[in-house]
């Protein structure tokens, strides 16, 4: 099913949207300073070309460090580059994915493609610090991150309970 979905997706718009991501990557690569955007745009072009069976996770979920408030946007530099991407290509890509998603969802058979468009719309706004991985790997990474967050939360609760009992 993934192969069929990806083939149909690629023919009916995936190739075009992936090309837009690659154009953005090339423009930012020329500036040397925009190399972090280039990497993120290439990652998103892969997803935009063949989205079925793939998902996007934050890099901190993959490296085991966990997403915290301070690393949620990969630091200050990542934040600046995400804002730069947002005002140059991100908003236009997001709007195009949203329009395509609505068009696909109008037909019953196009709903899976509309869902992929909506997933890509959200990602197109803030791509720095994200990696394209298989759906299975994304599930494992998110479950592991949830287990670690739960353990930290439980540890804090135990510390509080111990202090209160003293």
Answer with the residue of higher pLDDT: 68 or 162: 162
In this predicted model, what pLDDT tens digit does every residue of 133-146 receive, in sequence order?
899 999 998 888 88
CB 24 within 8 A of CB 37: yes
Helix (H, G, I), strand (E, B) or coil at 130: strand
Residue 3 buriedness (CB in 10 A; 0-12 / 13-18 / 19+): exposed
Structure tokens at 147: 């287990």
pLDDT at 7 over 90: yes
First to last CA, the chain: 59
pLDDT at 73 over 50: no
Q: Please state the pTM of the whole predicted model.
A: 0.74
Structure tokens at 14: 């995936």
What pLDDT score was predicted for residue 63?
77
CB 77 within 8 A of CB 36: yes
Q: Averaging pLDDT over each range in 51-55, 68-72, 126-130, which range is the top one?
A: 51-55
The secondary structure of the chain in percent helix, strand, coil, rounded to multiples of 5, reads 75, 5, 15
Domain boundaries, the chain: 2-165
In this predicted model, what pLDDT tens digit does every residue of 91-125 receive, in sequence order?
988 998 999 899 999 998 889 999 999 989 988 88
In this predicted model, what pLDDT tens digit does every residue of 49-59 receive, in sequence order?
999 999 888 88
Structure tokens at 106: 């109008």
Mean pLDDT, residues 77-98 taken together? 87
CB 78 within 8 A of CB 128: yes
């Amino acid at each position: 099913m993934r192969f069929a979905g990806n083939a149909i997706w690629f023919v009916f718009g995936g190739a075009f949207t992936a090309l837009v991501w690659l154009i953005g990557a090339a423009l930012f690569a020329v500036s040397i300073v925009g190399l972090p955007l280039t990497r993120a745009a290439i990652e998103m072009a892969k997803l935009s070309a063949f989205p079925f069976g793939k998902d996007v996770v934050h890099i901190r979920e993959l490296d085991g460090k966990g997403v915290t408030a301070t690393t949620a946007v990969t630091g200050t530099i990542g934040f600046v580059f995400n804002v730069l991407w947002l005002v140059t290509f991100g908003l236009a890509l997001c709007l195009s994915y949203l329009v395509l998603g609505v068009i696909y969802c109008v037909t019953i058979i196009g709903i899976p493609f509309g869902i992929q468009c909506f997933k890509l719309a959200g990602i197109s706004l803030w791509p720095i610090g994200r990696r394209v991985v298989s759906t299975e790997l994304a599930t494992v990474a998110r479950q592991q991150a949830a287990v670690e967050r739960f353990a930290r939360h439980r540890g804090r609760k135990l510390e509080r309970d111990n202090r209160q009992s003293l």
